[in-house]
Amino acid sequence: MSKTALSQAELVVRVIAQTAVGNETYFCELDAVVGDGDFGYSLARGFEVVLGDWDAMEYSDVGGLLKRTAVTLSKRIGGTSGPIWGTAFLRAGGVLTNVTDPGGADVIAALRAAIEGIKQRGSTDLGDKTLLDALVPAVDELEAALGEGAGAALERAAAKARESAEATKGMVAQRGRAAYTGERSRDSVDAGAIGVAVMFEAVTKAWREAGLELA
């Protein structure tokens, strides 16, 4: 297992966890507009445990790290977010299990698997006004830009995630509590989509500051 690849994966997971915890109030406020307002709280509680158990987690490769994270999230995050985020990490981890030196193509395959897991678990797809409306375009952009280097690709993916998340304003929610508000849901962005954008931005910033590239 490439220590570089594993350290990069650890950076990404830690930054995602720290971002979820640090933006608890912001994500709750976004979700409260048309949802039940617990998105930030649920996400923060799960990722707090990930951070708290970090030194005790046992894994030997990137896939193991992601699957251990998945187990924690599935157990600790309440509501619909737990199964969705847990499934995403589990599916991504499955793709990367026993991959000794994952590169850009492996990362994309893992993200695609996470997306399919979210679609199946949430019975949702693009256009339903969910986190997928930011995640899918961001992954598409990441894949298209990998030839420019990981740092540049992340920059482009983060920008696309933000643009796509903001574009959820004007969409009618088809899933979750927001779906019950009908046309009123057009007036606000989707909290999950914004959450994805904020996480992409945080990972991009951390990656750039660490001067990393893909293994």
What integer pLDDT is reported at residue 215 of this predicted model? 44
> Rounded to the nearest 5 degrees, what angle is found at the Cα of 139, between the Cα atoms of 31 and 132?
30
Q: What is the pLDDT of residue 100?
A: 83
Reported pTM: 0.92
In three-state secondary structure terms, 86 is helix
Q: Which domains does the chain have, with CATH numbers?
A: 3-210 (1.25.40.340)
140 — phi, psi (to 5°)? Answer: -60, -45
pLDDT, residue 4, reads 86
At position 173, the amino acid (one-letter code) is A
In this prediction, residue 178 carries a pLDDT of: 56
